[in-house]
Chains A and B, each alone.
Chain A
């Protein structure tokens, strides 16, 4: 399946084509050959555009030079052979509808770049929407569907960046939570009544003051199923958070914070960039222990490098603080004393209001005045933050824009959550099937269809560019 023109002469070729090969392969050997890369990309995205040039509005294509030769590639017999469907559609669509094609091209998600990057907040809204939906059900099938939807979107839209690799860690964490929940249910028993005894563990006799606590004893299928559902719910929530983490750059999310919170945001970003450094330091210092003839494995070795690692981290943070200071971090504008006082009063009062309002809302007694207090508090806090932002002279470089695609992504998450909440009123039994008596879970069709809305981001969010390493590999080989 390599459209590499490996055997020149076996296929007829136009003069122009041969010329372009000769020139490009002579002057820039690398870009001339790797037609496979763009050709493959076109094929994978399933375009049926007659002219590749039209469908490729990607100025930052991995191969910049040979655009001309790529375009000619559509007529290159070798390339045609490599992707017959595309070619067939090419020739069929050659004459008609030069106007319809760009529209289809436009509907396709663009290649992701700095300029069209989806707002990090949109991803978080989507993920929190999925998590809300998951929190409303214990139906194992629905939960599995949530995980599958989130997983598909992550697979389709995550980049190669370091934070995107954290998704696997979240998946494992979810599994660990599930296992722990099951182990506890087996060891400590379950409040669920059950008739299907799976196994009876030896029970540990406990003193009388520990009545009500049981270690060991009967393990029922009902109890295990209940624990499984419960654990799966928690795991699904974690997976949703992990998906947001993998899809949105946390540093970019913090950049969208209001000015007054900027400094807190920087602290978080710096801490996040420090974590990898610390890991590298530990590895380096453990290696150095080996050079001194001490064991480099085991817990003791890890503990003994603790102090040097902390020392190193401290030194690095001092150096970073010096660098940040000399780069203008913390420059503030002069603000009248009155405004400063107003800021403090509004922020403090607002936060108090938020706390009081939330408490009133959650407790049974104060339902009436809870909401107004919460709203007033929220308003005051926001005003305080806006005023506080005046002290900061900062501007923002290329902030993420909240465009149509961000609305679609965030909206799909909100819709999933709303539909699931609506379904709780409509068919509670299907969403929350009882563990006793045991029943096989059924897939309620309407809520499941609602969850599928969460797939929308996999089609509308800008697609990440293929990994540069993966792109360079075949290109190099083709050049050889």
Chain B
């Protein structure tokens, strides 16, 4: 089956500083893929670049195709057919994504008119259905409310409703629950899962929270300094990470049960994209790094069928492979 979205060799540079160094990523129909990594690792930029949402000063190279159609450098008209329609996006701060002086109805109907050509009563009925779907109580009355009259969790529900207005095949959720409280986060993640099941919609979940990604995705890509360093099925990655950075991220997470242990902090900080170390960008912080690691950039290489790691010294090798 051909993938829904296929990204290959995607590179982005801001003012001559490369921030994305060649991303290869396929998203199949209906699957949920998680992107984890720390700030500046390129999780969001990947998708902003693919959808032509970066400012003009950004230089984008490589390829991103949707059903075989190229998106990078595509005409505005082509992108308009894709953005919001085939691929929708929701962001961390839903309040700033909505227009504060327009009612929810206006904003939902705008989306419906743009992507589905619905007007008047038909649009109102569809808007009502979408609000119901995302669990806004008393939807009929709330249609004429303004964004500030809703709580943070409800605003994110409305953003999801607007994103669903175009009946997208892929939803990019960029830190959708980071600004929300734990119990509300659980509600929103639940909603996203229900919506995905109902529409067989693919999802890319961008998050810094390993737990959120682990629980809600089929596959996970770990990003570091503008590269994917490990790609694996969600359950396997967390049970058995191979890249030292992925291991570090998991070790840095305080446990919620069992014995308390000292956290394995990764020493140092994320490198400045203007001064990347030669070779593997993680090598200076890596306790397993050897001479070879500083010499050249390791490529993301498949190890077993569904796992790939960009490391010269991945920490679990042949012995375990034989066992699988």
Is this pair of chains taken from one and the same complex?
no
